[in-house]
Amino acid sequence: MAGWMRYSKSSTSTTTSSSSVSSLSSRSTRGSRKGSRSVESDSDSPPSYAVVEDRHGNLVSKALNVIWPQRPEKGRYSLDEYKRRKAREKELQRKKQRLARKQEQRGRRKKEKIKVIKDEDNAKAKQSNIFSEGDNRNEKYELSTSKFLGVMAYSQLRRLLRPNEFRLYYACPETISSLAEVPIRMPLKLVCMSSSGKLYQFGFNEELSNNGSINWQLDLGPFNKHEQPIFKSLKALLKYYESYANIHQKNGTVEIFPIHER
């Protein structure tokens, strides 16, 4: 019988290079008249003190407490160059943020993909442990684990069977809406699929023998009124129905169980 397939920029210190710098404080010059003051005049040479660019774009010397009153028209410290530099810095920051978001998204998608693959592999492994019937199977494994589906509702069975296959399962209600509906005991059933794809389920008759063991008999219900053989174990019963087939004399179809389809 065929087996069941049974992922903010800090201010930077710099040396100024303007052609026009004014001082907020005047200084006395040696050799000048008493009480006279002089102020630095415009010069093509840059000043000899360091300035920093504050958050307002001003060039300030904190040590001398001076500020450039006016930016040069051209060059690194011109207002136009300042605006262009700030625009480049903002664009670079935006690019870095976009790149960081993309990397984070790729990492998250990769983790999700890996998780999906692992979940699928685990599901396949579990299904294989329950339903696989390979060439290297042993009798104990075949007649116990591979034939038992566990607890489930009847509506879930069709996707687990192929024509001329059968399984054991504990039948539970289709829906349970409250604790009061939870069954204390669930009947053991045998479900099979006929050669035409119809599902049938049968119960068992259990008899206590003289030595205290349980005898097993399949109850084919209304589909066959003939009494079925009695077995000393469930394993022997399953082995029997796996070993023999029934041929319908009228249509020539082969079935595992001698049932009369309606």
Is residue 94 over pLDDT 70? yes
Q: What pLDDT does residue 47 have?
A: 56
Is residue 129 over pLDDT 70? no
Confirm whether 234 is domain-assigned: yes
- Comparing CA positions, the residue from 235, 259, 262, 228 lying closest to residue 246 is 259
Q: How many domains does the chain contain in total?
A: 1
Domain that holds residue 163: 139-255
Confirm whether 144 is domain-assigned: yes
Cβ atoms of 2 and 162 closer than 8 Å: yes
Q: What pLDDT does residue 183 have?
A: 82
Q: What pLDDT does residue 123 have?
A: 64
pLDDT digits (tens, 9 = 90+) for 133-192: 444 444 444 445 578 888 888 888 888 889 888 999 998 888 888 887 888 888 899 999
Is residue 197 over pLDDT 50? yes
The answer for residues whose C-beta is within 8 angstroms of residue 166's C-beta and 6 or more apart is 147, 190, 191, 192, 193, 241, 256, 257
Cβ atoms of 198 and 204 closer than 8 Å: no
Q: What pLDDT does residue 188 have?
A: 92
Confirm whether 151 is domain-assigned: yes
Distance of CA 96 to the CA centre of its chain: 27
Confirm whether 29 is domain-assigned: no
Name the amino acid, one letter, at 106. R
Confirm whether 52 is domain-assigned: no
Q: Largest Cα–Cα distance in the chain?
A: 139
pLDDT digits (tens, 9 = 90+) for 208-253: 888 888 899 998 877 777 888 899 988 899 888 888 888 877 777 8
Confirm whether 194 is domain-assigned: yes
pLDDT digits (tens, 9 = 90+) for 32-80: 343 434 444 444 445 566 777 777 777 787 777 777 666 667 777 677 8
**Pair of tokens at residue 134:** 């390979």
Is residue 6 over pLDDT 80? no
CATH number, domain containing residue 146: 3.30.505
Q: What pLDDT does residue 209 have?
A: 81
Q: What pLDDT does residue 66 have?
A: 74
CA distance 65 to 61: 6
Confirm whether 120 is domain-assigned: no
| pTM exceeds 0.85 | no
Q: What pLDDT does residue 22 have?
A: 39
Name the amino acid, one letter, at 45. S
What is the b/e burial string over 224-238, where b = at least 16 CB atoms within 10 angstroms of the residue's CB?
beeebeebeebbebb
Confirm whether 60 is domain-assigned: no
